[in-house]
Structure 1
Amino acid sequence: MGYYVKNIVARMPRFFPEDDFVFFLGDTASASFVPALPNARSLVVPRTWKRDWLEDMVKLPLEIRKQRAHLFHAPVVLGPLRSINMPFFSPVPVVATIHDLHVETLDDPHMIAYRAEFRYRLQRSAARRARIVTVSEATRIAIAGAGIADAAAVRVIPHGIDLPPDGPDQSIKENMVLFIGDAPHKNVLRAITVFSTVGERVPGWRFVAVGNRARIRGLAGAYADEAEHSGLLTLAGEIGDAELSALYRRASVLFMPSLSEGFGIPLLEAYAHGLCPVVSDREPMNGIGGDAAVYVDPEDHHEMVSSLEGLLRNPALRTIVTEKGRERIKRFTWETHCAALRTVYAEAVGHA
């Protein structure tokens, strides 16, 4: 289960005890995320077909009817390398959450190939019949631009974030800059070339990139190898939640020069852990960050170098931006997200 699904599964039954929730799972391993509450239960829908995405589309309507459900929520749709988890024809209203539309908007060869596949066209067709929720204004505009739904019909409900029990993280910080991502839209090559330049100009800082090492090297080529061999860059690899949280607690700055994002969870995680973020001056990052971030043009190497270098040399500015982030994060709670999602559920059932 991904970040969003885990939180929806864990929280919706707790926030709304008057509603019953059945979570269809592909295997028993995910059952541990379902809360032990009277109104929450899991049901494993075994996958035995060679094409499990087609199996989902056929079997889910039968299971929905068998469980006498009033509504089906597909929490992650229209993304590559994801199971469909969405019925093609549903006996009940469907709410579909689209987190990003990179498969439609990016010219990455993998995305181009995926959107030409029959399974994606089926998923896209099913999504057009659903009541759509997304997590940012930027994605809402992309959904409308792709002809999937009218902009006015798409509900924007921003993500929530968990704060540490005692509030935003007050850990003692190291001279560490954190970068998270291994996909083309994360701007990996430019991020690492910026690290290489800034690292030579501002000694004493470490740069850590989180993500699949092979994919990062594939996107950054010799630049990643050179930066790693010089000691400026650490490739942390694909790490678990505990290891990532530990890096957030130690790091001082988040560098997020994404070319596009559906939402930008690392920005909220940076606020929760007391990092100063340097992010792209593009939606949705600037809408999320407000005045609590340093903004850069993600396609301007010199601007990114200048902004990051200036920030690393200016601890007072880092403190100011970080304190603004501690306030900014209060706008993004799971309670608010789930309440808005529950309203969409009620609207969908009421209009059935």
Structure 2
Amino acid sequence: MDKIRIGIDISRTVDEAIGVGYYAKNLVDALAKVDMENDYLLYGIFYDCFPKGWKKVVTPKSSNFSLHQKRWPSWWVNRKWKNFGKYKDRLMGEIDILHSTAFTVPPVSRPKIVVTIPDLSCFIYPQFHTEANHQFVTKNLHLAARRANLIISISQNTKKDIKRYLHVPDEKIEVTHLAAGEIFLNECPPDSIASIKTKYHITKPYFLAVGSIEPRKNLSRALIAFKAFIEMKGTHYQFVIAGGKGWKNETFYNLLKKLDIDPHLVFTGYVPEEDLPALYQGAEVFVYPSFYEGFGLPVLEAMASGTPVITSNTSSLPEVAGEAALMVNPMEVFEIFEAMEALITNPSLREELKGKGLEQSKKFTWEKTARQTLVIYQKVFDHGREN
């Protein structure tokens, strides 16, 4: 079997790796464990993404993985990418396959192209995005659909959306699920959980939500439900929101003023991955009533951490949660409230969901994702040689 040279965009793993950056990081780490044969060139700067600290990005130590362009001056690499057409062969490094992990695809002719499309929220909920982001994403998704030899979807639901909105035939799309990282699989000692609570000023039993503060996450309805909960069950609970400020959240912050529950809220801002397991494990309940997800990784992270989950019965979330969560209609505040109340007042239900969640999370592993992705690379490579 011939060796394949594969280029992978890891530019969004630099600094705060969330979303597609988290996907790229875990995929590359898992590929390094299962593939010692093929050569991998990793791009810390890629096409439209120019992080300043790209040379410091952590990459696998395996001899067949290398950070491409590392010895070149950053200013030179940056300039050449911006003048991509003239320098593309040197910038790409004579690869057989280019894997764009963030749906932006440079106009190349020689390497075969694999593109991962994480979700189509810009098409389904355009009102939840800024105009600039909506235009950028929709334009690049259409380009990716045309240029890709094969598209990776991270859920069956997203595959359905890709077929509907981008008009891509079924045979051009493969599904590889995400997974909770290994860091979530170990039980944290009590003193670690206590330390995390102190670090983030958590002083009471708490509900937890993880994600940016943006309309799609539906945090407004979660907090209305939480207000009803503390009014009925007492004020010795907090609601912790772990994530960045996001966008289009003026309505959310206006709502907070009206709810008047500030003493019961904790906004952590961005939380590094090493703090998340203890934050999940310390929570009474994980609340994730998102309107739409391409996958819904925090649901699996919470389950792997042994935390009971409330999530939406929409998009990919039933696919990820299976029978291991309380599913709610994200439009219905009362359903979210009822689920909160049920999990706090019914210890046997909590234990049942904890056990089911741990088992559900084991169905998804990064090793499985890496092996499926490797099969995709081989399929694209073989098809290219046949043609």
What's the TM-score, normalizing by structure 2?
A: 0.79
Instruction: Look up the match of 2:90.
Output: 63
Task: Check 1:347–1:217 CA distance in 2 against 1; reply closer, same or farther (3 A cut).
Answer: closer
Instruction: Look up the match of 1:349.
Output: 381
Which of the residues 207, 219, 238 maps onto 1:177?
207
Instruction: Look up the match of 1:38.
Output: 63
- 1-structure distance, mates of 2:62, 2:161: 38
Q: Which amino acid aligns with 1:177?
A: F
Whether the aligned pair in 1 keeps the contact of 2:80 and 2:87 (CA below 8 Å) is: no
Q: Which amino acid aligns with 1:317?
A: L
Task: Check 1:321–1:229 CA distance in 2 against 1; reply closer, same or farther (3 A cut).
Answer: closer
Following TM superposition, by how much is the alpha carbon of 1:116 offset from its aligned partner in structure 2, in angstroms? Answer: 3.4
Whether the aligned pair in 1 keeps the contact of 2:41 and 2:68 (CA below 8 Å) is: yes
Q: Which amino acid aligns with 2:272?
A: G
Which of the residues 83, 89, 101 maps onto 1:75?
101
Which of the residues 345, 358, 377 maps onto 1:326?
358
Say whether residues 1:189 and 2:207 are aligned partners: no
Whether the aligned pair in 2 keeps the contact of 1:169 and 1:272 (CA below 8 Å) is: no
Following TM superposition, by how much is the alpha carbon of 1:153 offset from its aligned partner in structure 2, in angstroms? Answer: 2.2
Following TM superposition, by how much is the alpha carbon of 1:132 offset from its aligned partner in structure 2, in angstroms? Answer: 0.0
Whether the aligned pair in 2 keeps the contact of 1:180 and 1:209 (CA below 8 Å) is: yes
RMSD (CA atoms): 2.8
- 2-structure distance, mates of 1:212, 1:339: 32
1:167-205 CA distances to partner (integer Å, 9 max, x unpaired)?
453666873210122121111211221121112222222
Moved more, 219-228 or 152-161: 219-228
Instruction: Look up the match of 1:338.
Output: 370
Aligned residues, how many? 341
Which of the residues 126, 147, 164 maps onto 1:129?
147
Q: Which amino acid aligns with 1:39?
A: N
- 1-structure distance, mates of 2:365, 2:133: 33
Task: Check 1:115–1:213 CA distance in 2 against 1; reply closer, same or farther (3 A cut).
Answer: closer
1:51-98 CA distances to partner (integer Å, 9 max, x unpaired)?
989828637742366x22111111111xxxxxx3x2223311111001
Whether the aligned pair in 2 keeps the contact of 1:277 and 1:293 (CA below 8 Å) is: yes
Task: Check 1:243–1:333 CA distance in 2 against 1; reply closer, same or farther (3 A cut).
Answer: same
In the TM superposition, 1:198-347 aligns within 5 A as 198-203=229-234, 204-213=236-245, 215=247, 218-225=250-257, 229-347=261-379
- 2-structure distance, mates of 1:149, 1:22: 28
Task: Check 1:230–1:37 CA distance in 2 against 1; reply closer, same or farther (3 A cut).
Answer: closer
Say whether residues 1:23 and 2:42 are aligned partners: yes
- 1-structure distance, mates of 2:374, 2:268: 38
Q: Identity of aligned pairs, percent?
A: 26
Whether the aligned pair in 1 keeps the contact of 2:215 and 2:248 (CA below 8 Å) is: no
Instruction: Look up the match of 2:122.
Output: 103
Task: Check 1:163–1:199 CA distance in 2 against 1; reply closer, same or farther (3 A cut).
Answer: farther
Whether the aligned pair in 1 keeps the contact of 2:229 and 2:341 (CA below 8 Å) is: yes
Gaps of 5+ in 2: 1-12, 14-20, 46-51, 194-203
Gaps of 5+ in 1: 78-83
Task: Check 1:269–1:52 CA distance in 2 against 1; reply closer, same or farther (3 A cut).
Answer: farther
Q: Which amino acid aligns with 1:129?
A: R
Following TM superposition, by how much is the alpha carbon of 1:246 offset from its aligned partner in structure 2, in angstroms? Answer: 2.9
Task: Check 1:349–1:31 CA distance in 2 against 1; reply closer, same or farther (3 A cut).
Answer: farther
